[in-house]
Chain A
Amino acid sequence: MSAANFTAEIVAPPDLTAKRSWRSVKSAIMTGLMIASVVAVALPLVAVVWAIFSRGMAVAFHGFPHFFVDEIPVIARKAGPGMGPAILGTLLATGAATLIAVPLGVAGAVYLHEYGVKNRFSRLVRFMSNVMTGVPSIVMGLFIYVTWTLRFGYSAFGGALALACLMLPVVIGATEQMLKLVPNHLREASYAVGTSKSRTILSVVLPAAMPGIISGSLLAVARAAGETAPLLFATGAATEYNPNLFVEANTALSLQIFGNATSSFAAAQDRAWGAALTLVLLTFVITLVARFVTARFARRR
């Protein structure tokens, strides 16, 4: 076949440009809608953060450190700081809750993963723990009211109990995840030199899982610090400082925000914004620490 047999047709190159069709327009519209939803998420977040900072900054940092230290004005109409007792109350209740929930949660997760991985008891506990994460916090609060507050009165500790109940399933879940990540050959190495199971868990497994457990627990702490409903029924509404964990009603930042939000007095509302800023900063710091721990853990591996 010689070249002469090929017809010299003028053939245009294939047209590969994008077509303006309804289909491609529709796809573009949909992509636009997706972007719009991202904006729709960013908007309220920005709006809320903006409101907190713009309204809360002036209140919280005016005449620093008064807002964080002074007592709460008993008369709502009265302008001026502070939220000291609420900050203390939040720290007391959240701190006590952490001391209760984290060791118990870690211990429970240890059982679930190291001792009874497949047995029926473990599967039931795991399932119920999942269910428990969905219990509304108000139900937890009422539960503590019925079982504790009625007997022992309002106190920061009652609030701590309620918060601990909320935190427990979260800590169990996060810890179990971390335990799963500890490779089995580490456990075998420990058994092989004549180490008991409990010692293996305490000296090898838990230290290896610790950074993840810490960061998971911190996230649970951050959530607990912001809870209101459980404290409504267990902690009360004091306005004075009460450093006593167990005796007498106390207060917390979340409770104060709740109480002041519906007040008709601007002064009380201002204090609510200041408290909201304080709470958000506290939560933010805790979350940052949690992320920092996770990052260090990742780097070390």
Chain B
Amino acid sequence: MPLEDVKQKPEGRPMIRIPTQAPAKHDGPAPGPATQPSVVFNLDKLEVYYGAFRAVRDVSMQIFKNEITAFIGPSGCGKTTVLRCFNRMHDVTPGARVAGGLRYHTADLYGPNVSATEVRRRIGMVFQKPNPFPKSIYDNVAFGLRSKGIRSKSEIDSQVEKSLRGAALWEEVKDRLRASALGLSGGQQQRLCIARTIAVGPEVVLMDEPCSALDPVATAHIEELMRELKQNFTIVIVTHNMQQAARVSDKTAFFTTEVDAKFGLRTGTLVEHNATEKIFSNPSDERTERYITGRFG
């Protein structure tokens, strides 16, 4: 669908203007029937329970390779909860339970004999608040490599450089690789965390509100980085910033909350998942439309 057509709803009411940086999304070959991207994740009525409380219900969608998928929605709608299902992070939360279907390519992520460690080598995560280890910059990036069993110093050296370049941080730190990572600025720390994540060579990089603790300049760096990373990784990003989702992502999934009568708490659920342009200009669900316009109202 050409860009111009989606700018206005038939009634002539503009939804949101797609910023002109958006054309970056179309740098690659335009999606057509011959180059349909492959499915990386297949979710089928995914649910997450904390104890007896159902925190998230009925999430069914597909995540495609080499795309950026954004999860948006009001706070508490479960977007981070769903994200953490992808890399088995709920394993470390006592009382959390994942039900329903979640397939990573053909494998059931929660099947028997599945090693969470192995999952996390293929599906990495960057967190909201940058969390570098209290070690040197070099050791931070090398950490995942050593966990993988790589011992050769020359191999680690080259991978560290490659990852730092991939995270657009190399030029800034190449002369102080042995300095403590805690001495970096917030934006640099987050890029270090990205370098640390991609060093392990995952297929997917999950990002949980990666820019919410950063200033606008650092945020812009990370967004630009994401567009580069998309070529080699599949990215799923949770963000509370709709403009960011509109700027960066190919597909967007909108979540919302409903009151759970039994507990008086809110259960999150997926409302709509589609190409970003469609979500922001012509959403199918009225709740999506309300959320998107409400933000500008």
Tell me, yes or no, whether A and B come into direct contact in the complex with CB atoms closer than 8 A. Answer: yes
- A residues near B (Cβ < 8 Å) are 117-118, 185-196, 199, 203-204, 208
A192 touches B87 (CB 8 A): yes
A189 touches B92 (CB 8 A): no
B144 touches A195 (CB 8 A): yes
A195 touches B131 (CB 8 A): no
A-B contact sample (7 more), CB < 8 A, given A185-B131, A193-B200: A188-B89, A188-B131, A191-B92, A192-B127, A193-B196, A194-B144, A203-B143
- A-contact bits for B96-123, CB 8 A (1 contact / 0 none): 0000000000000000000011111110
Q: Note all chain A residues with C-beta closer than 8 A to B116.
A: 191
Q: Note all chain A residues with C-beta closer than 8 A to B125.
A: 192
**Nearest chain B residue, comparing its CB with the CB of A203:** B143
CB distance from A246 to the nearest CB of B (A): 38
Partner of A188, one of B94, B121, B127, B196: B127
CB distance from A117 to the nearest CB of B (A): 8
Can you offer 5 A-B residue contacts whose CB atoms are under 8 A? A189-B131, A191-B92, A192-B89, A193-B120, A193-B197
Any A CB within 8 A of the CB of B162: no
* Best-buried of B89, B94, B144, B146 by chain A (most CB within 10 Å): B144
Q: Note all chain B residues with C-beta closer than 8 A to A117.
A: 94
Known: A187-B92, A188-B89, A188-B92. A193 touches B124 (CB 8 A): yes
CB distance from B211 to the nearest CB of A (A): 17
CB distance from B195 to the nearest CB of A (A): 11
**Nearest chain B residue, comparing its CB with the CB of A193:** B144
CB distance from A292 to the nearest CB of B (A): 20
Q: Note all chain A residues with C-beta closer than 8 A to B126.
A: 192
CA distance A204 to B199 in the complex (A): 18
CA distance A196 to B121 in the complex (A): 10
CB distance from B178 to the nearest CB of A (A): 16
Known: A189-B133, A189-B193. A194 touches B127 (CB 8 A): no
CA distance A284 to B122 in the complex (A): 53
**Nearest chain A residue, comparing its CB with the CB of B141:** A193
CB distance from A203 to the nearest CB of B (A): 7
Partner of A190, one of B89, B118, B143, B202: B143
How many residue pairs link A and B with beta carbons under 8 A? The number is 70
CA distance A191 to B116 in the complex (A): 9
A192 touches B120 (CB 8 A): yes
CA distance A188 to B146 in the complex (A): 17
Any A CB within 8 A of the CB of B147: yes
**Nearest chain B residue, comparing its CB with the CB of A194:** B121
B120 touches A194 (CB 8 A): yes
Any A CB within 8 A of the CB of B25: no
B117 touches A118 (CB 8 A): no
Q: Note all chain B residues with C-beta closer than 8 A to A190.
A: 133, 143, 147
Known: A189-B131, A189-B132, A190-B133. A195 touches B143 (CB 8 A): yes
**Nearest chain B residue, comparing its CB with the CB of A301:** B134
**Nearest chain A residue, comparing its CB with the CB of B197:** A193
Partner of B147, one of A118, A185, A196, A208: A196
**Nearest chain A residue, comparing its CB with the CB of B92:** A191
B120 touches A191 (CB 8 A): yes
CB distance from B94 to the nearest CB of A (A): 7
Q: Note all chain B residues with C-beta closer than 8 A to A186.
A: 131, 133-134
Any A CB within 8 A of the CB of B129: yes
CA distance A185 to B134 in the complex (A): 12
CA distance A203 to B129 in the complex (A): 21
CB distance from A193 to the nearest CB of B (A): 4
Q: Note all chain A residues with C-beta closer than 8 A to B197.
A: 192-193
Q: Note all chain A residues with C-beta closer than 8 A to B144.
A: 193-195
**Nearest chain A residue, comparing its CB with the CB of B115:** A196
CB distance from B144 to the nearest CB of A (A): 4
Q: Note all chain B residues with C-beta closer than 8 A to A196.
A: 117, 147
CA distance A185 to B197 in the complex (A): 15
Q: Note all chain B residues with C-beta closer than 8 A to A192.
A: 87, 89, 120, 124-127, 197
Any A CB within 8 A of the CB of B165: no
- A-contact bits for B126-160, CB 8 A (1 contact / 0 none): 11010111100000000110111000000000000
Q: Note all chain B residues with C-beta closer than 8 A to A208.
A: 134
Q: Note all chain A residues with C-beta closer than 8 A to B89.
A: 188, 191-192
- A-contact bits for B239-274, CB 8 A (1 contact / 0 none): 000000000000000000000000000000000000
**Nearest chain A residue, comparing its CB with the CB of B88:** A191
Known: A191-B120, A194-B200. A199 touches B131 (CB 8 A): no
A194 touches B131 (CB 8 A): no
